[in-house]
Structure 1
Amino acid sequence: MFAQEQKDNRVQVTEASTDGGGYDGDEQRNPRNWRPWKKRLMFFALMSSSILADGGMTWGATLIVPQALEWGITIDKTATTMNYGILLQGVGGLMAIPFIEAYGRLPVWLWPQFITTFLVLGATLSNNYGVFTAFRSLQGLFGTVPQVVGLPIIHDMYPPEEWSQMINIWGTTFLVGPFLGPALAGYIGAGSTWKVSFGILTIFYGLSTLLIFLFGYETYFLPGRQCQRNSRLLSMVGVKNHNLPAGPTLLFWCQTLVVFIFKTPLLLTGIATMVNFCWPIGITVTVSTFVAEPPYLFNTVQSSSLRWAAIIGALLGWVYGYWFNNWVTRSSPKTYYTEKRLHGVWAAIVTMACGLLTYGFTLNYGKHWIGLAFGWLMVVAGMVASTVSITAYALEKYPEQSTVTSAIINAWRTASGFSVGYFQPAWIQRDGIAAVFGTQAAVVVANLILTITPVIVMGKRQAKKKGGSS
């Protein structure tokens, strides 16, 4: 009901423009008609902030040993400094939706990134576990916005036929962050201290904020009414960024969010995303603990270098997603339906399940670390490929609600990332590594059958009905 009301408003605005109520220069102000260099610079700024969202949150994963020694606590407890921040990423994404839609993309993208810079600085200057964890938790709350605002920006700047390609690039950027961030942090920390490493992260956030300030523009646009004639300064503070007749309200978008959370396609694909992210994030936050013990005894540099396996896996997932979505885009209109994009999940999940088995059994029997690297590579490749397919499907399914769908998927993803750090260590201690990772592989496959399959079946039936009625 709420989404339909908003859609009706958009239709009325469009009709007004065709009746002579439009303004000269609408086509020039339309973000899809911006100059290519303007789009590229803005997309570059978006990627710089997106890679820091998860990359900055997991930055300290390879620094837990020196932090534990400095604070006089156990390594397992030190590893939990990221958990609340990961949870609050999902919460922050949901909270950002009403503001993004009510006040515009640019201000809700710029100012949280600015705030996050100082939160990371606060974590850098912290001298105990409690204060550090508090700053890191708030970092997750404010720093998650690029993962939510990216989808509506792509929707605004690019035509539908380019959405899947741009989602593939943008999505891989923030999905590779959780592995690239800890690798860089470990290298820097090995040659200095963990505080210096977090100081470098503060600089990265500052540079990202500067890029948004220099190259960021408001992308919200509807033809037929005056929009974006205000100065960039006014756009940055959310003044006159919208051109709906009455303007969307915070309450309206809160109601819309609740409605869309429980829509069957988003609910099922959201659950699938939660499970697909749970186990890769579990490996990310625990691998440094495992390889620091016999028989591996990795130092900080070696532990950081192992994460390149995950980075390579993410890039392979990107290549697969790029190829598959291009193939789907070229499909015959007669046989095409939106849920066809979800078929990209099949190969991804099989790859992830095989990777979990390889990683788990290598760790269980203390085999060569190459087995850990290869298993982790497959897990991450499957995670990225499946997430790209699900995200591309969600945007195409609900193009008018790009912000809402992006935040919902992000919330499901981070909810699992938060929880796994708490229950997986105890689970492994109780049942053993082989049983745990074998169960995880089975859960991944069962999840695919129970969530993605019904969505594909329902979508195919709807497509046939529409085809028959036409």
Structure 2
Amino acid sequence: MDLDAETSANASANANTSTTPYPKSTKSDIEAPPVQPTEKEKNPNLVDWDGPDDPENPFNWPSYKKWRQLIFMAINTFLTPLASSMFTPGVADILKEFGSSSTMMASFLVSIYVLGYVVGPFIIAPLSELYGRVPLYHTCNILLLIFTIACAVAQNLPQLLVFRLLAGIAGVCPLTIGSGTVADMVYKEKRAGVMAIWAMGPYMGPVVGPVAGGYLVMAEGWRWVFWVLSITIGVIFIGTVLCYRESYAPVLLRRKAERLRKETGNPNLLSIYDHGARPPRDIFLSALSRPIKLLFTSPIVFLMALFAAITYGYLYLLFTTMTSVFEDNYGFNQGLAGLAYIGFGVGCAIGLLIVGRTVNKIAARHSAQGRFAPESRLPPMIYGCWAIPIGLFWYGWSAKEQIHWIMPIIGTGIFGFGLVAVFATVSAYLVDSYVRFAASVTAANVFLRSLFGAVLPLAGPSMYDALGLGWGNSLLAFIALVMCFVPLLFAKYGAMIRTHPKFQLELE
């Protein structure tokens, strides 16, 4: 993907238009620039980019500068969900060491990390829109490293639970503001493909975790899972310090205005995003309330985030129960039970290839035709989401009847394909609908899906005890079937809902 060529093409197309921190080609998005060019012309003290080719504008950064940041961000986003599930094969050993036999505690040891994802976005998203992306990345990586080491040396279950929760709060950072970083520097024609790569973390991390952790637990014990994670987090942190650069336009323009005030001696220079002398406390509280407003007052954000949340909850419910299913029904040991998660990985990889290519082609075609809108992101989800109920039916009944072990694994692969179709599409659709507030809308999405990811696994053992694997997974599948009509609804009525005065939100 040539991001330099993409930048040049878009810059040329906008050469005769006024410059905004977000490209003119995003005019079809719901978010407009905060100050119109006519106002800037009337007020020469407003600081903006120096033309469409300003090298300080992240959209105009060279490809190597964009890609080194995007690659490290993708690894960072992969690593933190990996930590959520890598020790899953060792949960039984942890309970044995600390003298517990509770099946709910076994699930809670996994899900409490995801519970941290519920808290973190409401702190991280507003701070990133106030102080920028990079300080949050670095601070959270350091905290994640500290709390992961603390997990490795925990002496009892309460300590392990507390440190896991704190690690989850810090670890959610790249999941919360990663989509914002992509929106900061990649034009919409290529954004969905890049976001599909970034979004590998939330679904590939939990998949790879048990595969890698199974044999590590068998060979070295559960504590070494956390030591390996700590070493990896430390290495990645060094790379991010060397490669990350601030990309959030309001922060960059605020710094530019500060620099120009010193250079010119003109104290009246302000960024075009500066809305006057508001106290930092008011700005933070406004940013803090934004994800909540988006989630509970926008039908689009709520329903799309709900679909992603249900799917994410199913993912963790399966993760916390699959080890026992394959050990009890198929006689797998800890290492082989970890390998059973490969089905998810294969399904997700196929989904990534198909969805990533499809959404970019649709976006490029619709842009060339002058009719691009956020709803242009929906076709892969419209067709792919049906794989979720199909996969759940397939997995549940083949495992119940103890058909050959490859059959339930194929079912999880089908589910993994549908998972990617939902996750990648929801992320791109919401970001395109609220470009400037990408971190806030992602925070709303992450909050709801993490809540489901933390709570649903706790109900898993009881549900399977009552209904069995067949009807238990069928119940999940029936709920997913109802949710599959959500993208169809927004494909037809999404634009009308987004532009209706009733749903125009005051987000400043």
The answer to whether TM tops 0.5 is yes
**Counterpart of 1:244 in structure 2: which amino acid?**
Y
Residue number among 276, 288, 297 corresponding to 2:311 in the alignment: 276
Name which of 357, 382, 400 aligns with 2:436.
Answer: 400
Matched letter for residue 312 of structure 1: V
Which structure 2 residue ranges, 5 or more long, are not aligned? Answer: 1-30, 260-270, 501-508
The 3 A distance-change label for structure 1 pair 243 and 188 is: farther
Cα distance per residue 1:329-366 (max 9 Å; x no partner): 13343665422322222322221111111110111112
> Which residue does the alignment assign to 1:110?
138
Assess if the C-alpha contact under 8 Å between 1:13 and 1:225 holds in 2. no
Q: Distance in 2 between matches of 1:364 and 1:319?
A: 31
The correspondence for 2:172, drawn from 144, 153, 162, is: 144
- Offset, 1:453: 3.0
Partner of 1:227: 256
1:47–1:174: 8 Å Cα contact kept in structure 2?
no
The code of the aligned residue for 2:327 comes to A
Displacement after TM superposition at 1:19 (Å):
4.6
Query: Aligned to 2:256, what secondary structure does the other structure show?
Result: coil
Deviation of residue 151 (structure 1)?
A: 0.9
> CA separation in 2, counterparts of 1:13 and 1:69?
69
For 1:325, the equivalent position in structure 2 comes to 359
Shift of 1:255: 3.0
Give the TM-score taking structure 1 as reference length. 0.88
Pick from 107, 117, 132: which aligns with 1:79?
A: 107
Whether contact under 8 Å (1:183, 1:304) holds in the other structure is: yes
Q: Which amino acid aligns with 2:493?
A: M
Shift of 1:402: 0.5
Aligned residues: 447
1:158 to 178, 186, 204: 186
| Pair 1:414 & 2:441 matched | no
Equivalent position of 1:349 in the other structure: 385
- State yes or no: 1:363 paired with 2:399: yes
Deviations 1:271-325 (A, max 9, x none): 11112222222111211122221x3121121011111111111111101211220
Map 1:28-427; keep pairs closer than 5 Å: 28-74=55-101, 76=103, 77-222=105-250, 226-227=255-256, 244-245=273-274, 246=276, 249-261=283-295, 262-293=297-328, 295-332=329-366, 333=369, 336-427=372-463
Matched, 1:458 2:483: no
Structure 2 distance, partners of 1:125, 1:13, is 60
Distance 1:407 1:64 in 2: 29
- Corresponding letter in the other structure for 1:31: P
In structure 2, distance between residues paired with 1:17 and 1:171: 42
Measure the CA separation in 2 of the matches of 1:24 and 1:9: 14
Aligned residue for 1:63, secondary structure, equals helix
Aligned residue identity for 2:294: F
The structural deviation recorded for 1:371 is 1.0
**Does structure 1 retain, via aligned residues, the 8 Å contact 2:59–2:184?**
yes
Q: Is the 8 A contact 1:337 1:463 kept in 2?
A: no
Looking at structure 1, the residues matched to 499 and 143 of structure 2 have their Cα atoms a distance apart, in angstroms, of 49
**Equivalent-residue separation in structure 1 for 2:142 and 2:362 (angstroms):** 39
Partner Cα distance (1:8, 1:192) in 2? 54
> Which residue is equivalent to 1:432?
468
Structure with the larger helix share: 1
Distance 1:228 1:143 in 2: 33
- What is the SS of the residue equivalent to 1:50? helix
Identity of aligned residues (%): 18
Does the aligned pair in 2 maintain the 1:147–1:410 contact within 8 Å? Answer: yes
AA at the equivalent of 2:402: G
Normalising by structure 2, report the TM-score: 0.82
1:389-431 residue CA offsets vs partner (Å, 9 max, x unmatched):
1111111111121111111111121111111111121111112
Which stretches in structure 1 are left out of the alignment for 5+ residues?
1-5, 231-241, 466-470
Instruction: Name the amino acid aligned to 2:99.
Output: G
Q: 1:382 to 1:297 in 2, by over 3 A?
A: same
Distance 1:349 1:48 in 2: 26
Distance in 1 separating the partners of 2:499 and 2:299: 19
